[in-house]
Structure 1
Amino acid sequence: MPAGAGFNYNTVTYALGQAPIHDPEWFDESTGLWYTDSKVSQQYTNPLKILQDIDDQIFTNRLLGNVQADFRITKSLTFTGSAGIDYSDATRKFYQKRTLTYFDSPVPNGQARINGVEAVRTNTNGYFTWTNSFGDHNLNVVGGVELISQTISNLNVSIEDFATDELGTENLGGGNIETAGLSNGKRKWQTVGFFGRMNYDFKSKYYASVNVRQDGSSVFGASNKWGFFPSLALAWRPTEEDFLKDQDFVSNLKLRASIGQTGNGSLDPIMPLAYGPLVEPIAMTTRS
């Protein structure tokens, strides 16, 4: 069965709107419309005809890859580096036959559309980790950098008025060139982030964690490209205290409180061009 019923059709909605006693083969071959009753003048698009006369297929290829390397520099210091890629391309081929109509609006002798999208996302990061203990004091410190880049390209072609339905989207040249439509675009954005984290605990009883991150994004204006996002967390494990060690009612209890700042960088890279310099973004995404 086709991937969908096209761009403007919903076969489930049309089918639910018909009485179950109606014969799905009862339609006018010249219009593709469902005549519900000779006494009713209103006509309905036949959902069965939609399935028969629309070819709507999506073809997708995707490649995911990631490599990571760990290096021990000293007993307490290590370095981790990784790089990943997410590549995908998708093509949608849509053809509507010459005989199908949408209510009383006929499609002029067939319609074909081909939409293609290619997306490439890369993620590269590297960070140092230092871990050490001083008696009852335990310390873990992490610091590094992350680079993310994404590019999306698209190409859309449409044409109408075919002499035959035999080849569908495999013969776009068979349509009327005067009805042809063509559009394409490309979007690219990048982010860079510098991050650091320090975790401390005393006797596995009292905990403190400090995180800082500085992120920059190409989708923001010159005065808003960077954002700083700190956070602080404190925790206490009462079950490690002497007054709870000898009881069996609670085996492990940890209380934690934290405060911090995050942002949102989900901004279309084209939007700043549309709104101009008068609109300033206020925040951007951070990852912890």
Structure 2
Amino acid sequence: MKTLYKGLVLILLIFTFNLSAFSQTITGKIIDEEGLELPGVSIYLEGTTIGTTSDVFGAYTLIINEGEVAGDSLTIVYSFISFSSQELRIPMNPDMIITHDIVLLEEVEMLQEVVVIGYGVQKKSDVTGAISTIKPQEITSLPVTSIDQVMQGRAAGVQVSQTTGAPGEGIKVRIRGLGTINNNDPLYIIDGVPTKDVTGILNSEDIESMTILKDAASAAIYGARAGNGVIIIETKKGQAGKTRFSFNTYAGIQTHGRLTPMCNTDQYIELYNEAAQADGNHEPIPDDIRPQLSNTNWLDEIFRPAVMQNYQLTISGGDEKSRFLIGGGYQSQQGIILNSDYERLNFRTSISTELAEWVNVGSNLTFSYSNRDIIGASGDGYGGNGGSVIRYAFFRTPPVPVYESNGEYSDLPMFEGYDRAKLNTWFGDGYNPVGLANKYDWTAKTYRLFGNFFADFKITEGLKFRSDFGVNMALIDEKRFNENWGTDDRINSPNSMTKGIGQAFTWNWTNTLNYVKTFNEKHNTSFLLGVEAIKNNFHEQIGSDRDFADQSANLRYLGNGLSLYKGADENQTGWSLLSGFARANYNYKYKYIIEGVIRTDGSSRFTPENRWGVFYSGSIGWSMHNENFLQNANWLSQLKPRLSIGQTGNQEIGLYNYASIIGPGYNYPLGGYPNNGYTVTSF
């Protein structure tokens, strides 16, 4: 009976997916003043995360779909390191492809800017590794909920994506594709504190600079954690002068793009009856049932206009001795699918004080709270999330109403004068996606403290010592109640509940000695020595219950279920890393540059026999534009061939892969009776 229904669904999907969708396309080529193609230029729509990059021939194509923008004009931004950014304002015209070539102009003064690198800073003109930088003015006003979203379309070789697009969901960032096995997320360094998860830590308004280390030459200083690239973020600090007040806000409405056109009831009956007639084994839908049928567009029913808003207040100031910044804000984002929402409160402080001419101390701390309402995203519910709301919207047929006459959500089709078997064959037995979405009671609350305490010591001229202690603490509170509902209580039978609390704490202690010296005004040198210790601990407790006699929201707590089989589980894990590293940099008259890095890491994730690894990099560069024979080449602003080699690693494997793990819940037949016990679950 279900065969014909499934075949009909396939026919409908094939029919609907062949319809074209609206989009605006802008294409062209990007060159410099001499007509040379510029690959890797960031092209993005101002105020959004929609963007792309130019290819090796300088060509680009930017596609903007309906619903992603509002208004009758578009502002396209072209940005590339060492070049002045340009803007292109064009009218919205979906009926034609707009072709526009761009000539970017170089900014020589930008080459003297200082960029943040691993455990230090460096002049942009002296960089010999592959890096990208993102300026704060490019990202301050972006309507994003996570700081990793600001990189989309703004850095060559960096891809940013989301699995479902739900508010507050983690972001996938890939630097130059997949670099390793297992975890491919980059390492983030925020004010010297490392993390693999930046969700909910900062706002885009908090960022002073963002540097992306893309090759081994630039990232090897981070050793066993740099296999997928490194993203270094410096936050805004207080400045000397009058106290400044800054208030930033935005609000807007998000809507879905063009949806797949769905059949109405008449079209569905026509297609079904044609298929039934061709099949010869199924009864067609009779005409006398039509007065009882609805005409539901299930995609329209599950989507909504979603309000998003952000309010941030910052107070900063200080004098030559002490500086401060205090900020806080509120951010909320509704999902475009029912019952998917996200909100976050944040508070940030940055304080620095010069205790003496030779010592400066301070801290940068961020406190945040987020609350996320989750709905199922996996198509068939694999992994226990109940199934995708969108999947069931595609499966649900238009004759079935959203609500029954009593106001309850409809489930299996019920029409007078027809038995259930026939109705299920004609109209399907998939879940009601509106009821499925609204009955999800699945929330994840996260409380987070992130930041560092530091002390800088000026020992002698050019010699500095820095001690930096970082903390990354998170408390995760997740609760899910699976309500029993539907025809004959067939969905989530019996009802059940899971409640989990996890505590994660990571600290890092980094000590560096930095020496900078110029000899005879020709030989410029810098040396870095450092040691670093990192330790992580994670502890979680999970409880479960089922058979709740009363499903009222105020009674959904562990212990209220009638089942005798109440679950309880507890886990504790941890890892640590101990490292030493060094870097030496030399340039002669700012023409010939050579740099070398070495780092050794000892990670508890590996066996004692293979716990330590050595990582290195070497790079050279030749600033040819500084040579005497090119001094009169006014047409040339910078010419720097460079060559590098290096090695990075990836410690993101299982915590105890080298050990045999035992687990409970296994039966041993002894004396003719099963006895519960433990067994080895992994080798």
> Normalising to structure 1: TM-score of the pair?
0.86
The yes-or-no answer on 1:114 pairing with 2:492 is no
Q: 1:9 aligns with which of 364, 387, 390?
A: 387
User: Secondary structure of the equivalent of 2:570?
Assistant: strand
Q: Is the 8 A contact 1:161 1:179 kept in 2?
A: no
Give the aligned partner of residue 153 of structure 1: 539
Alpha-carbon displacement from aligned partner over 1:111-153 (angstroms, at most 9, x marks no partner):
1111222111112101101111111111101001011111122
Q: Is the 8 A contact 1:140 1:198 kept in 2?
A: yes
Q: 1:123 aligns with which of 483, 487, 508?
A: 508
Task: Give the Cα separation in 2 of the matches to 1:151 and 1:210.
Answer: 34
Alpha-carbon displacement from aligned partner over 1:2-33 (angstroms, at most 9, x marks no partner):
62235223222212222345311149999963
**How far is 1:271 from its partner?**
2.2
**How far is 1:180 from its partner?**
1.6
User: Secondary structure of the equivalent of 1:243?
Assistant: helix
Q: Is the 8 A contact 2:484 2:490 kept in 1?
A: no
**How far is 1:169 from its partner?**
6.2
Task: Give the Cα separation in 1 of the matches to 2:659 and 2:588.
Answer: 52
Task: Give the Cα separation in 2 of the matches to 1:93 and 1:169.
Answer: 13
Aligned amino acid, residue 125 of structure 1 = T
Higher strand share: 1
The 5-angstrom pairing of residues 100-111 of structure 1 reads: 100=486, 106-108=492-494, 110-111=495-496
**How far is 1:34 from its partner?**
3.2
Aligned amino acid, residue 24 of structure 1 = V
Structure 2, unaligned stretches of length 5 or more? Answer: 1-338, 341-372, 377-384, 663-681
Give the aligned partner of residue 263 of structure 1: 649
Q: Identity over aligned residues, as a percent?
A: 27
Q: Is the 8 A contact 1:197 1:212 kept in 2?
A: yes
**How far is 1:192 from its partner?**
1.0
User: Secondary structure of the equivalent of 2:387?
Assistant: coil
Aligned amino acid, residue 116 of structure 1 = I
Give the aligned partner of residue 213 of structure 1: 599
Q: 2:517 aligns with which of 124, 132, 143?
A: 132
Task: Give the Cα separation in 2 of the matches to 1:196 and 1:146.
Answer: 12
Task: Give the Cα separation in 2 of the matches to 1:126 and 1:102.
Answer: 65
Q: Is the 8 A contact 1:239 1:245 kept in 2?
A: yes
The 5-angstrom pairing of residues 218-257 of structure 1 reads: 218-257=604-643
Q: 2:400 aligns with which of 10, 22, 27?
A: 22
Q: 2:423 aligns with which of 25, 32, 40?
A: 40
Task: Give the Cα separation in 1 of the matches to 2:644 and 2:628.
Answer: 25
Structure 1, unaligned stretches of length 5 or more? Answer: 280-288
> Normalising to structure 2: TM-score of the pair?
0.38
Higher helix share: 2
Task: Give the Cα separation in 2 of the matches to 1:185 and 1:24.
Answer: 42
The yes-or-no answer on 1:68 pairing with 2:68 is no
Task: Give the Cα separation in 2 of the matches to 1:54 and 1:19.
Answer: 22
RMSD: 2.8
Q: Is the 8 A contact 2:402 2:409 kept in 1?
A: no
Q: Is the 8 A contact 2:534 2:577 kept in 1?
A: yes
Alpha carbons of structure 1 residues 48 and 104: separation in structure 2 relative to 1, 3 Å: same
Task: Give the Cα separation in 2 of the matches to 1:27 and 1:47.
Answer: 18
User: Secondary structure of the equivalent of 2:593?
Assistant: strand
Task: Give the Cα separation in 2 of the matches to 1:179 and 1:101.
Answer: 26
Instruction: Tell me the matched-pair count.
Output: 277
Alpha carbons of structure 1 residues 127 and 97: separation in structure 2 relative to 1, 3 Å: same
Q: Which moved more, 1:162-171 or 1:6-15?
A: 162-171
Give the aligned partner of residue 187 of structure 1: 573
**How far is 1:225 from its partner?**
0.7
Q: 1:143 aligns with which of 504, 529, 540?
A: 529
